[in-house]
Amino acid sequence: MVGHDMSWASFHVLEVMASQKYHQKRVGYLGAVQSFRPDTDVLMMATNLLKKDLAASTPTIISLPIAALPHIITPSLSISLLGDLLPRLSHSQPAIRKKTVVTLYRLALVYPEALRAAWPKIKERLMDVNEDASVTAAIVNVVCELGWRRPHDFLPLAPRFFELLVDGGNNWMAIKLIKLFATLTPLEPRLVRKLLPPLTNLIRTTRAMSLLYECINGIIQGGILGEGEDFSAREEVASLCVSKLRGMVSLNSDPNLKYVALLAFNRIVVTHPFLVAQQEDVILECIDSEDITIRIKALDLVQGMVSSDNLVSIVSRLMRQLKASSAALNQQGNGAESHDLETDSSDETSAGSKRLFKTQDALPPLPDDYTTDVIGRILRMCSQNNYANLVDFDWYIDVLTQLVRIAPVPRTRDLDSDITAPTARVGVDISERIGNELRNVAVKVRAIRPVAVRAAELVISRLSSEISSSRPVVPGALKPIAYVVGEYAFELYSPDDALRHLLGLVSRIENPEVLATCLQAILKLFASVAGDDQTPWTPERKSALSLLMARVIHVLEPFASHPNLEVQERAVEFIELLKLTAEAAAGQLPSTDELQKDAPLLLTQAIPSLFTGWELNSVAAGTQHNVPIPEGLDLDEPIHPNLNNLLAQADSLMLPAQGDDEFEVYYNRKLPPTSISSGPAIERLADAPDEIPGSYQQVGEESYLDADIIARRKAERMERNRDDPFYIGGSTRSGGTSTPIHNILQKENGPDLDIDSIPIMQLDLEKLSVSSASAAPAATTAERRPKPRQQQQQRIIVAADETLSGVSSRPVTPRNYDSENNSDSFAKAKAARKLKQSLLQVDSSHLNNLSLLDTGDRPDDEQQRREEAEMAQAMREVQRLRLEMQRANERIQVAQGVPAEGIVVKKKKKTVKKAKGEEDNGEEGVGVKVKKKKKKVVAGEGEGEGSSQADAAPVVKAKKKKPKRIVQLDGDDAAAGQSQ
Amino acid sequence: MINAFLVFNGQGQPRLTKFYTQLDTSIQQRLISEIFTLVSNRPPGFCNFLPLPPLLAPPPSSNSSVQEQQDVPSLVTYRNYATLYFIVISTATESPLALIDLIQVYVEALDRLFENVCELDLIFNFETLHATLGEMVVGGVVIETNTERIVAGVKAQGTVAKRPVNEGRGAAGGGLGAGLGAGLGMGGNFVWHGR
């Protein structure tokens, strides 16, 4: 009951509910409210009990089911109880009435038709000036709930609401009314002029802070601040509101006021950023508030008002906070700004002691969630609109390096969860996002690349020193940073050190994604360290390199059996490649004084050429989705009708081959050096750079093969694979494995489909951000918006190759895309569904479908009324005809007609009453007339007719049926009618 | 509208849970414990609004329309009186400051009913607790904010047991109640006097 399960007691609760004693009944209802759900099965048995209690005579008993119904209501229950509930709207006690109003609203949420029936009565209550104030307030509350769903239906009631707002004197109700008006004003602009005086008056006079706030809030939400004809008045209101809000935010006030004022500012900032920007000083104070709730609201706000002018100061403020909380060093002047590379390196020494201070720090450390949030916001603020607000990239990189240190260590995650939910992880690991930013800057801003690469180098060296000592978990930032270090190895200060650090780190990495990237980076670094063909091939160099290779192989070796395939594959490839190279190097005699020898070409040419394709540009998010699927390509169609068989065959072929002694012998036996350095192979290798596609993966896939084999196979396949859909991005003849897909495609599409000619670049431009949209379409680079100072030459490269998305190591194939897309939409749908069923949420969306609420002018109502009128008219015709007949009868049998008439009249009365309750008047008229007639039957016909006609006339007139009647009456009556 | 009204003490033990939509008991418990963790970490000087607990936080990727957001609970307001926390979870259609007042009204009404109310009163007279709330809020909609009327409404439903508790449980309840006697410290710790 208080958080404990009591579903087992449902039936007993029902029994107690049915008790005769009020006190027991009350307990029973309480139990029902707390424990019944709409799907509780005993609920069906409760229907009659509820009906009975609703009709009880004691108000306290009536209010029990009324109060309980909102908790247990179901559509079927609503249908059966609506009839019992409606009369309670006119109960003598206001307490019952107001509860009934709310219960009817809840009924309508599950059974919208209920509102249709109830609304006229509720409206009647609302319009009734003499109604109890609390009932009116309850109705206003309900209308406020309904209001935002169907504002149109409540517009006609605006005058009454306005009246209540002005004369109500109830602050609670006024708050709700203002909220209601805020939803109405967008529909009826004229309301604004009417509302402004009372609202400003309230703002100036009210003593209740809540009402004051809601007035301001209503003005904001109702769009009253918006531009319009009456400019000066609006200006006045705006300044009044903002000044009041400023007062709320300012330092010494109540934290609650601060919070709500920030909420209000958050709403204003969307439409009137300049108004909020004026209050920047006080808002920034809030960022430093002790209260994290207030801080977060202030951050929301700050994010909306950030510009290139205040970005640095805002971020510095946040950085200071983060630093203080991570209990770092003594406050450093301007936070991260002064935090340059030199101090960083000196910080390293104090890294260990830093952690010790953390616990002793005076300020309570910020919760990780908050820290993560703040870091995320910093990144977002800086990278907004493709770095539009950022002026000083050097500063930004310093901030990023600092952030990597501050970032909270993510909770240790097991590998499984990583594999199954990679997207969820991205959201969590803030460290990786920081790294991504660093990488983005390195990739996009060419001018700043050296700085960024140095920063990455620094981070890596720091990580390696830290990890060995204290931290067991490698932050996700390593992944993009390793990429930067590997990709731009030529910018490194000392590639040797970087390689050393990375080799040290690699064995401690758990996350396979990070690991895969690091392996790639290691080989890239190796290529840049070893692949220098200018340096002479001295004995020292030879031994140093063979040592290095031995070390790399040693580090990589354990990963050859890594459970993650990506890691395993890369490790195996690189190991084999390096082994080959090591052999080649061992076989190449060092140059002596008299004989100049070159380093083995495998070392200086082949390996570096693996990584010197085109420069990789960043691809706009979602670009991949724009690659059109070629006509006739059915992604759901099996690749090969008998694919499984083929695969099985391939397996059975491959497995013995892999385990074959031949291979082992081949690798383990020392090959004659000539096999590598022989002429033709070298020649081909020298050509290789032309053929290297912009992808590492494709090369990597084959790198376990001998270099000459690679070259030959490449040449062979070049022609065959030119229209392979998996390689649409590269315009060169890219190599690829021969797949069944390719053959199928060729068969299906015929020779005239040239996938290479798919206009990828044009599509790309649509999706690009603002800065690139203005760039020349032909170029993949876009000139950055002109920046002051030295930033002018900076270029941000935004567009690019399709098949590669940044550092992503997964080849994106159409197949992949398709499945991704499917799962995406599925997930979205699921999320949407989930949102709809969000916890605690009362789903009122049904009400949207209720097309016609209430108000008098609704079309259906009109129609109904017309039908009713027609019905009434028909009834009257029947009546009249009967009367005629009666009169005829009377004329004939004056003497004995009385008893017969009486019966007829009675009957008539009944039918009329049943058919139309409203027509009491008219009916009475008829009744009176008939009675009179009875009396006067003997006295004189003519007179009786006349007087009866006089009685009936008002009714008839109201119904506008005079002409028809005249036609149908006989002479006497017609004359009488006209005489009226 | 108001989605839930909770009362729990400083140890996180619920004294009153009223959810205006039905939830599974396990989820109720989780929600209460999540809110309690949030609430219990807040020093007295902080504002009375909580960030949404994880259970209620909207899925990050959701780009729902404004309309749907109006339906979703978006505001958690709390007040602390002596040993008790009063929490209101509500949608955007409620005014945050008014909710603070609403809790105040509720506590005032309880104080009037029990005469210097304390946690024990609430434990032994949870029916009155529910009845009082029932006079103020029905189905998530506020129907009454006037203390007089609320008290009158509750009293109309029957006598409110006062310390020392009447009848059977008089002995145990009375002793403890008199011993505690501290009350909820009404009037002393009002942070908020806006109404």
**Does A70 sit within 8 Å of B71, measured CB to CB?**
no
**Does B64 sit within 8 Å of A832, measured CB to CB?**
yes
CA distance B136 to chain A (A): 10
For A308-312, the CB contacts below 8 A with 24+ separation are A308/A388, A308/A389, A308/A390, A308/A391, A310/A280, A311/A381, A311/A382, A311/A389, A311/A390, A311/A391, A312/A337, A312/A391, A312/A392, A312/A395
Q: Tens of pLDDT along A271-294?
A: 777 778 778 888 888 877 777 788
Quick check: A545 and A585 in contact, CB under 8 A?
Answer: yes
* DSSP per-residue codes, A163-210: HHHHH---HHHHHHHHHHHHHHTTT-THHHHHHHHHHHHHHHH---HH
**Is B181 touching A (CB cutoff 8 A)?**
no
What's the first-to-final CA gap in chain A, in angstroms? 72
Four-residue CA torsion sign, A625, A630, A632, A635: negative
pLDDT of residue A682: 43
d(C-alpha A433, C-alpha A899), whole Å = 98
**Does B49 sit within 8 Å of A293, measured CB to CB?**
yes
Q: Rounded to an integer, what is the distance from CA A73 to the centroid of its chain?
A: 31
Q: Three-class SS of residue A529?
A: helix
**Does B93 sit within 8 Å of A144, measured CB to CB?**
yes
d(C-alpha B46, C-alpha B52), whole Å = 16
> Is B182 a residue whose pLDDT tops 60?
no
What are the backbone angles phi and psi of residue B89, rounded to the nearest 5°?
-105, 130
pLDDT of residue B88: 93
CA distance A114 to chain B (A): 16
**Is A134 touching B (CB cutoff 8 A)?**
yes
Work out the burial of residue A625: count CB atoms within 10 Å of its CB; fewer than 13 is exposed, 13-18 middle, 19 or more buried: middle
In eight-state DSSP terms, residue B2 is: E
For tokens 């977002």, name the residue. A380
**Is B158 touching A (CB cutoff 8 A)?**
yes
pLDDT band at B103 (very low <50, low <70, confident <90, very high): very high
d(C-alpha A697, C-alpha A701), whole Å = 6
Element counts in chain B: helices (H) and strands (E): 7, 7
d(C-alpha A516, C-alpha A809), whole Å = 8
d(C-alpha B96, C-alpha A923), whole Å = 55
Interface of A with B in 214-243 (CB under 8 A): 214, 217
**β-bridge pairing B14-19 and B2-9:** antiparallel
From chain B, pick out residues whose CB is under 8 angstroms from the CB of A43. none
CA-nearest residue to B98 within chain A is A210
CA distance B167 to chain A (A): 15
Residue type, A2: V
Interface of A with B in 695-734 (CB under 8 A): none
The tally of CA atoms less than 13 A away on the side-chain side of residue A212 is: 20
Q: Tens of pLDDT along B104-140?
A: 999 999 988 888 888 888 888 888 888 899 999 998 8
Interface of A with B in 6-35 (CB under 8 A): 7, 22-23, 26-27, 30, 33-34
SS (H, E, C) A397-443: HHHHHHHHHHCCCCCCCCHHHHHHCHHHHHHHCHHHHHHHHHHHHHH
Please report how the helices A75-85 and A94-110 are oriented relative to each other, as an axis angle in degrees rounded to 10: 150
Q: Three-class SS of residue B150?
A: helix
Instruction: Profile chain A (980 residues) by mean pLDDT over runs of 10 residues.
Output: 74 88 88 82 84 87 89 87 87 88 88 85 86 87 84 85 84 88 83 82 83 85 65 74 82 78 84 78 79 82 79 83 61 36 38 36 60 84 79 82 74 39 48 84 82 85 69 70 85 83 81 85 85 75 86 88 87 89 80 71 78 71 71 74 76 51 52 42 42 37 41 56 52 44 56 52 44 38 38 38 38 39 45 50 60 43 68 82 81 57 44 44 44 45 45 45 44 43
Tokens representing A979? Answer: 């005489």
Mean pLDDT of B140-153: 89
From chain B, pick out residues whose CB is under 8 angstroms from the CB of A209. 97, 194
Torsion angle of the four alpha carbons A523, A527, A528, A533, in this order, in degrees rounded to the nearest 10: 170
Q: Is A759 left (phi over 0), alpha (psi -120 to 50) or beta?
A: beta
Q: Three-class SS of residue B19?
A: strand
pLDDT band at B102 (very low <50, low <70, confident <90, very high): very high
**Does B89 sit within 8 Å of A831, measured CB to CB?**
no
Residue type, B132: T
Q: Tens of pLDDT along A722-772?
A: 555 555 444 444 444 445 555 555 555 555 555 555 554 444 444 444 444
pLDDT of residue B163: 57
* DSSP per-residue codes, B56-85: TSPPTT----HHHHHHS--EEEEEEETTEE
d(C-alpha A371, C-alpha A297), whole Å = 14
Quick check: B19 and B3 in contact, CB under 8 A?
Answer: yes
For tokens 């003594």, name the residue. A330
**β-bridge pairing B137-138 and B75-81:** unpaired
d(C-alpha A932, C-alpha A883), whole Å = 13
Better-scored residue on pLDDT, B156 or A416? B156
pLDDT of residue A695: 37
**Does B141 sit within 8 Å of A256, measured CB to CB?**
no
Q: How many residues are listed for chain B in this entry?
A: 195
**Does A842 sit within 8 Å of B60, measured CB to CB?**
no
Tokens representing A457? Answer: 């180098």
Tokens representing A190? Answer: 């004229």
**Does A294 sit within 8 Å of B47, measured CB to CB?**
yes
Better-scored residue on pLDDT, A787 or B141? B141
| Helix runs in A445-491, H state only | 449-469, 478-487
d(C-alpha B109, C-alpha B111), whole Å = 5
In eight-state DSSP terms, residue A604 is: I
Interface of B with A in 24-63 (CB under 8 A): 25, 27-29, 31-32, 42-43, 45-51, 55-56, 58-62
From chain A, pick out residues whose CB is under 8 angstroms from the CB of B144. 98, 134, 137-138
What are the backbone angles phi and psi of residue A412, rounded to the nearest 5°?
-65, 135
Quick check: A309 and A292 in contact, CB under 8 A?
Answer: no
Tokens representing B33? Answer: 């414990």
Neighbours of A4 (CB within 10 A): 12
From chain B, pick out residues whose CB is under 8 angstroms from the CB of A214. 95, 97-98
CA distance B121 to chain A (A): 16
DSSP element (H, E) containing B147: helix B147-156
Complex-level ipTM beyond the 0.95 threshold: no
